[in-house]
Amino acid sequence: MKLLASIALLLQCALRVAFVGDPQADGSGQVVYNQRSIFKELRSRKDLDLVIVLGDIVNDDVSLLDPSIASLDSLRVPWFAVPGNHDRDVEPGVPRGLKAWRAKIGYVDTSFVVKGVRFVLMNNVRTKGLRDYEGGLSEAQKSWLGSLVRESSKVKRLVLATHIPVSEMTGRDSLMNILAPVAGKITLFCGHTHTVRRHQLEPGIEENICGAACGSWWRGVKDENGLPYALMRCGSPRGYFIADFKGKGYRLDYKPVLRVERASATEVDSVSNIVAVNIFGGSEDGRVEYRAAGSRKWREASKSELVAPEVVKVSDWNYSKTKAYRKAHREEFIPMILRPSPHLWEVTDTTSSPGSVVKVRYKDKHMKATMRIRLQR
């Protein structure tokens, strides 16, 4: 009876999964960056059940799959991966395919069930011509996915993992028709964009774009660990998502690699006292409350259309350097596009000064946190 009770308890326990986007090693040096950052952190964690890599393990050099796979094999838990557009073979005069991936990984599309959660991993990178690609699924893939959806009554939740976001795929409408019967029961995880974005693709279907473990392609000034800053264009640091599946629901957390901060607060206008709050893994429909230093009053922050302050700082730094410096230190420059961050809120704070500690509460359907943050300028 004790054994049966233990098994029943295990089956009820939350399933903890790390979703990792785009390690994207470009050369042996970046293989080492991954070994010393994302793979080191995942290997040190004792709370994971599974790791899923969302494509672009390498950057157009399939010979780097071997050392990358060795790092993944060193993890404490099983891992799976979907192929990305940069994981394909590069052969002169031949359309880019997945010959090396199939030989080394062993599968392209796969599905399995763990603790009542069905995971569906699909290659949605379709080759166009010799080099180009688009996001999409073949009719055979759609038929297979449809058969899994029809069997969904046997599981508590479905997870569809792809490289390219479903929101950027061709034929998205036909895919939404396939997934419509499991709205409210299915969750999408993807990589590719090197940004973090969580949003409702359709009612009951949330898409989680998980950023990149390499950030902005391993570019930027190196930190005390010898790793490039590589801030992403949305203002999130290099990181990954942790998902806790329990019962029919799930909880999310965005974890920056080798860092503890989940958010930042920055004074962006000292005249109007505007503070921008960046919740690195926040959803577009999330709610942020802010408490100024020394205050007991919580005030709701409004969704912002600003560029993340971290991105502005990097852009300003880029333009402050001479042409000669940029030429000699190309790897220090993070290519930035100044566009609004999908996980930024703003609030007026007339009492706190840079350096003081403020409090932030964040909540959405799948993520909740209360944080003490040092106000920046």
**In this structure, are 237 and 280 located in the same domain?**
no
C-alpha distances in Å from residue 237, one per residue of 75, 177, 352: 23, 35, 25
**In this structure, are 152 and 91 located in the same domain?**
yes
Q: Which residue has the tokens 């557009």?
A: 85
Looking at the DSSP assignment, which residues form a beta bridge with residue 210? 196
CATH of the domain at 292: 2.60.40
**Mutual angle of helices 65-73 and 28-36, in 10-degree steps:** 10
Q: Which residue has the tokens 């005390």?
A: 224
Strands 110-114 and 249-256: unpaired
Q: What is the pLDDT of residue 79?
A: 98
| pTM for the model | 0.95
Reduce the DSSP state of residue 127 to 3 states and report it: strand
Alpha helix positions (H), 295-372: 309-320, 323-328
**In this structure, are 121 and 268 located in the same domain?**
no
**In this structure, are 99 and 226 located in the same domain?**
yes
Last residue of a domain, one of 256, 272, 301: 256
Reduce the DSSP state of residue 71 to 3 states and report it: helix
Q: What is the pLDDT of residue 235?
A: 98
Alpha helix positions (H), 37-171: 38-44, 65-73, 99-105, 139-150
Number of residues that make up the chain: 377
**In this structure, are 222 and 268 located in the same domain?**
no
Q: Provide the number of structural domains found in the chain.
A: 2
**In this structure, are 195 and 282 located in the same domain?**
no
**In this structure, are 104 and 179 located in the same domain?**
yes
Last residue of a domain, one of 205, 238, 256: 256
Q: What is the pLDDT of residue 6?
A: 37
**In this structure, are 252 and 267 located in the same domain?**
no
Q: Per-residue b/e over 257-270, b at no fewer than 16 CB within 10 Å?
A: bbeeebbbbbbbee
Q: What is the pLDDT of residue 13?
A: 67
**In this structure, are 163 and 278 located in the same domain?**
no
Q: What is the pLDDT of residue 129?
A: 87
| C-alpha–C-alpha distance, residues 53 and 79, integer Å | 8
Last residue of a domain, one of 198, 233, 256: 256
**In this structure, are 240 and 296 located in the same domain?**
no
**In this structure, are 278 and 249 located in the same domain?**
no
Q: pLDDT by residue for the chain (377 residues), tens digit each?
A: 443 443 344 445 689 999 999 999 999 999 999 999 999 999 999 999 999 999 999 999 999 999 999 999 999 999 999 999 999 999 888 889 999 999 999 999 999 999 999 999 999 999 998 889 999 999 999 999 999 999 999 999 999 999 999 999 998 999 999 999 999 999 999 999 999 999 999 999 999 999 999 999 999 999 999 999 999 999 999 999 999 999 999 999 999 999 999 999 999 988 889 999 999 999 999 999 999 999 999 999 999 999 999 999 999 999 999 999 999 999 999 999 999 999 999 999 999 999 999 999 999 999 999 999 999 98
CATH of the domain at 217: 3.60.21.10
**In this structure, are 147 and 93 located in the same domain?**
yes
Give me the domain span that covers residue 127. Answer: 2-256
